[in-house]
Structure 1
Amino acid sequence: MSSHRVSIDSGICIGSGQCALTAPSVFDQDDDGFGLVRSGREDGGGDPLVREAVRVCPVQAISVEEV
């Protein structure tokens, strides 16, 4: 069984919040409004909305890699 690593490129993120709105169990926003992966949820937590969050990110800052 494969596992995944979810990450946000902080150099690209513009803080639109779409990730946190789409998959709030995995994504949040920092004090400055930029996206982050919740601690302990780097594997996506099995949330099927992670892929949708990748799709809706306006700057493609989110990546999901198989590890």
Structure 2
Amino acid sequence: MAKRAKAGKTSTHGADDVTKRAPTEEEVSERAHQIWLAEGMPEGREVDHWMRARRELEREAGLE
């Protein structure tokens, strides 16, 4: 049976723990691929897509 956090207490296993970490290489790669597809699969933009993906994921995680 799972334990519940008492009222007024914050669980250390909540969603905030997940959002306050740097994105993994796999997450950045997946996002960069989505960006590449959305932009019509242009050639030579790998670094731009990778950096944009990292920035977006960091912003979403509240790390910016």
Decide: shared fold, TM above 0.5.
no
Structure with higher Rg: it is 2
Higher relative contact order (CA 8 A, sep 6+): 1
**Structure with a larger share of its residues in strand:** 1
TM band (smaller chain) = under 0.3
Structure with the larger helix share: 2
Q: TM-score, normalised by structure 1?
A: 0.25
